[in-house]
Amino acid sequence: MDFSAFGILCVGDVMLDRFQHGEIERISPEAPVPVIRLRGLREMPGGAGNVACNIASLGGRATLVGIAGHDFAGDNLARLLASQPGVTGALVRSTRRPTICKTRFIAGRQQVVRADDESSEPLYPDEVAGLCRVIDAHLPGAHALILSDYGKGVLTQAVLAHAIGAARAAGIPIFVDPKSEDFSRYQGADCITPNAREFAAAARAPAGSAAEIAAAAPALLDQTGAQAILVTRSEKGMTLVERGGTVISVPARAREVFDVSGAGDTVIAALALAFASGRSLAQAMHIANAAAGVVVSKLGTATATSTEVMHELAAQREQAGGGAMPGLQTLDATQKLVTHWRGQGLEVGFTNGCFDILHPGHVSLLAFARSHCDRLVVALNTDGSVRRLKGPARPVNSLEQRAQVMAAIRFVDCVVGFAEDTPLEIITALMPDVLVKGADYAISEVVGADLVQAAGGRVILADLVAGQSTTGIISRAVVGQTNQHAEGG
């Protein structure tokens, strides 16, 4: 899935997303509110900026058009965009309005409060003219246009009409993430991507099922002249209604959800990229659905990589009974995943073992490990490595079989193999934030513990489940077979 040849022009409400992380230790003596002791700050482009970052993360190229103020937040936003490979910032800087900035205060993984800095004043004529000039300058060569409407005032009727008219004249497909209940504002767009609530408000009809969406969509298609409406339905997946009556729904894969914020940005980014690359809307919807499944399992404004999306697509095929579960990843692919997760501010955990016959003790270890990190990598001994450690009769299950089973465990985010007797080489390559082993080891005996600790990471020992071991299971099976033969003889 290579999108490197495709460029998308993103126009809309650009903002700076700030995440102030800390801990709640007490209640303020001044008022009955919690006091957060701040520990760190993350900043990233939000709104239409997150759409552009998702395009770049998926391997495409994005040009971002919007308005930012001449202020500290605007300078930070411009700096972040300049440092993002694959994103070209084309912001119109305003002296009359602040950069839209959303600051979220997070204790642990819980958002406590959000503070917004923005202007509700309409755009001035020179700001509208500036946006139109920048759109005209960057539209040639684009393979699709995304209009990201957060209702913050950038996508005025004049800006919408100019952008849509110019794109249609150039034969460039137009995708809209709407905010207004009046979809006629987006007249001339090719595909509109509301969530179920936005669709119901615009259609003035229920949208709880695919059938209800299919019944209400034709009127909105006629109102806008659009070729399709893609409705995102949270845990129910997505429903695509195309002009002519074609209705296709895809389910969401059951998974651990951390944060749904920004999922719509990921959907429209993946949809536009996949369509621009020659796929049908139905095919593009499957890719967008997988990308959304990736980002909702991340905390805060997030993006998805093409590797993560391919992994998720394989998992969705397995859930639908249509293909193999994603199993073994190469070390190179694993390193790319770990680098991306770290870029999202996520802690990466690591554990390893033969995991030959999966039993409750293994599951307990994996659950414990995942509870101490945001993403868990599990390294499996190859078959040759298992034979050297356990004897010629092992493993019972091949590496491919063990990897397939391991990848199906919901606590596991990536599975990789290693042929050596110890995982030292792979730990050195990944340098996890958290290294987990069973409590039958001392920390000083854990391979790679010194490296992880020297890099500022943690080494944690998990309690073992009594009476659970692969060797024990095999021994009991052998005894059972012996007894059966004796009784039969």
**Tokens encoding 83:** 């440092």
Q: What is the CA radius of gyration of the chain?
A: 26
Q: Quick one: how many helices (H) and strands (E) in the chain?
A: 16, 19
CB 267 within 8 A of CB 51: no
DSSP state of 324: P
CB 271 within 8 A of CB 230: yes
End-to-end CA distance of the chain: 60
Degrees to nearest 5, angle at CA 365 with 359 and 369: 145
The total number of residues written for the chain in this structure: 489
**Tokens encoding 230:** 């893609």
Instruction: Select from 400, 406, 452 the least CA-distant residue to 426.
Output: 452
Question: 45: cis peptide before it, omega within 30°?
Answer: no
Instruction: Select from 429, 468, 238 the least CA-distant residue to 330.
Output: 429
DSSP state of 184: G
Cα-based torsion angle of the residue sequence 332, 333, 335, 337 in order, rounded to the nearest 10 degrees: 170
206: left (phi over 0), alpha (psi -120 to 50) or beta: beta
Q: How far is CA 196 from the centre of its chain?
A: 20
Interatomic CA distance for residues 205 and 213, integer angstroms? 8
Q: How far is CA 184 from the centre of its chain?
A: 31
Q: What are the strands, taking DSSP E only, across 149-203? A: 174-177, 191-192
Looking from the CA of 300 toward its CB, the CA atoms found within 13 Å total 30
- For the chain, give the longest Cα–Cα distance: 96
Q: What are the strands, taking DSSP E only, across 127-284? A: 144-148, 174-177, 191-192, 228-232, 238-242, 247-250
Q: What is the DSSP string of 6-60?
A: -EEEEEE-EEEEEEEEEEEEEE-SSSSSEEEEEEEEEEEEEEHHHHHHHHHHTT-
Residues classed as catalytic? 265
